[in-house]
Structure 1
Amino acid sequence: MTGELVLEMQDVVKRYGSVTALDGVSLSIAPGRFVGLLGPNGAGKSTLFQIIAGLFAPDSGAVEVFGMTHRDAGSDIRRRMGVVFQARSVDLDMSIRANLRFHGRLFGLGGRVLDDRIDALAMQFGLEDLLKRPVRNLSGGQQRKVEIARALINDPDLIIMDEPSAGLDTPSRRALVEDIRRLAANNSVAVLWATHLVDEVEGADDVIMLVKGKVVATGSPATLIADSGGGDLVDAYSRLTA
């Protein structure tokens, strides 16, 4: 493995009893790349994210994040990573500001630096007038925006996002994709964006197609379209995962 990559996985296997969730998965992500992880529900995307985040260890295979392993340098990896899980994980009874401030302090942020970071993220996601409101009183889409803002509070070098647009309306979903793509391009942030919606990754630098725990295709959208003989990425996805 090479330390030049933000994330590298080789032949990763994860089983739950008789069910193989990941079956020899290999992938890599370089700094500044927006990578789409595209697959149907049940493909193994969430298991993959839990392993990258260090919540689970693979049964076999190797995983390095920033050239390190969770076993040897878990704290160092977490300081440089932002995670948006599919399931909600914010405190519903705390305000938006309290949630973001608590999470920021876990990364050693405080004072004016943290307050400025919270205000900037609230402005970015249209939450600036809601910062004092308990998360429980927000719409599902607004709660999702709080989750995403929280994942960005530590200015991470790698962001992994599991179905991050869940609960967002179409304009907000598109705006989020563009925001994260710009973040990757302008700040050399690596992004792994998991989704079952093809249109969210049409503008990705690379797309990894995952089906039944296996990587069945990988490459730029243009390459995948050309390799499949399809007319667009939706067509390519249907053909390559058939």
Structure 2
Amino acid sequence: MYDFVIIGGGIIGLSTALALGKNYPSDRILVLEKENKWAFHQTGNNSGVIHSGIYYKPGSFKAKFCRNGCQSMVEFCQEHGINHEVCGKVIVATEEEELPLLENLYQRGLANGLKIAKISAEEVKEIEPYVSCLAGIRVFSTGIVDYKQVCQKYADLITAQGGELRLNTKVEKIVETAQGQVLETNNGSFETRLLINCAGLHSDRVAKLGGVTPEAKIVPFRGEYYELVPEKRHL
């Protein structure tokens, strides 16, 4: 029997397994992922931004976790040699009516303890010549990272801790027992004391397998990326 089984091999599932391994080194931990690689869905298909936390309500958990997570992600990448860049970002107002909104965002950033600065339209052009605006905010802590690399390193560290990882293993049924749960998959059954659902956009479906009816339904929206032709890539 396992002490913890985690469903989902994205960044949430893997980071949860890594943290559990650090805090409970003698416990048996298993991560199940239905795809053939880690970070196959949402984690591996996004803009790869390390967010600063400027948009969140000051004092909220979102603001706290985002700010602390930004710092810890950069430190993790530095420690393990993962490709990343703390490039910062610029938020701009392009019309007069957006200037009060930009000021509110600036004050929110200050309240969240971020290193930010007001910059003029001319200063914005020094950073990005092809932006036309009235004013801007420079956020210094925003970065970019390859989250697939992050997840692969998480997987390596989990294995080094003694945790177990299984790809190509889809949970098909969850049975409650007196001791915990039995997970029936396409690759056999696994029994656990505690089950953690980190299945991302499929987490409501996984919850239903366990007899739970979620109050909310996940409705995913697909984003699309466009690649610039070579002669426009300077933009």
Q: TM-score, normalised by structure 1?
A: 0.24
Q: TM-score, normalised by structure 2?
A: 0.25
* Bigger radius of gyration: 2
